[in-house]
Amino acid sequence: MRKPIIAGNWKMNKTPEEAAELVKALVPAVKGADCDVVVCVPAVCFAAVMEAAKGSNIRLGAQNVHFAKSGAYTGELSVDMLTACGVEYVVIGHSERRQYFGETDATVNLRVKAAVAGGLTPIVCVGEKKEERENGYTDAIVEYQTRMALTGLTGEQISALVIAYEPVWAIGTGLTATDEQANETISVIRKAIARQYGQHVADAVRIQYGGSMNPGNVKGLMAQPEIDGGLIGGASLKAPDFTAVVMYNK
């Protein structure tokens, strides 16, 4: 049985003071959740979130990581820097990183390998654009992105990471795939992993849905057999909304 994982991706939101206030509200609200709970926050909020979440079931995540140990990479953060701050999870390959900051399948792979080697759990994002879905390329796109992102990893390493299926057309738009569409595409990802690494690896890896999951649609999405959680955007910025998603089965 795969334990669900609900991760909030705060993107470029919240000052340290605001972050601490939100996490303090979440701590009692999500206590006893049946899923792993992660908040992926801006780096300036790491210390405030760690302090506010101390002793709780909320884990700290980052939104990106560089693949080099150190060096002349202005503005980047290494695995060692993140782990030293208490970070356990890291989002890699989000469509916004691909669209606005030149992230490619090759650099996603480098970041994933660096994160795994350094003890972080990657949340690896894959997903198709609107025109790709409309032209019938969804399965090919997500399979290719998945295979590229996982190149060079062992089956054991893949079993321990998280994949987030995020249809680009559903991020920040208020649109969402139907429960069946999300489940079907996540099934494609899982089958691709099975073909490459074996069914036991595919059965172990947790695959989230990330396209505008919110309190209104979480129950239907989480009822699907292939969906193991969510990577939550806008709904993770308000304590009542994120709590409703995390505690979807309560």
Give the catalytic positions in this structure.
94, 166
Q: CB under 8 Å to 128, separation ≥6 — which residues?
A: 137, 138, 141, 142, 167, 168, 169
What is the C-alpha to C-alpha distance for residues 19 and 236, in angstroms, rounded to an integer?
11
Closest of 88, 207, 229 to residue 143, by C-alpha: 207
- Sign, Cα dihedral of 93, 98, 103, 106: positive
Beta carbons of 34 and 65 less than 8 angstroms apart: no
Beta carbons of 202 and 190 less than 8 angstroms apart: yes
Exposure of 60 by Cβ count < 10 A (0-12 exposed, 13-18 middle, 19+ buried)? Answer: buried
Determine the residue type at 220.
G
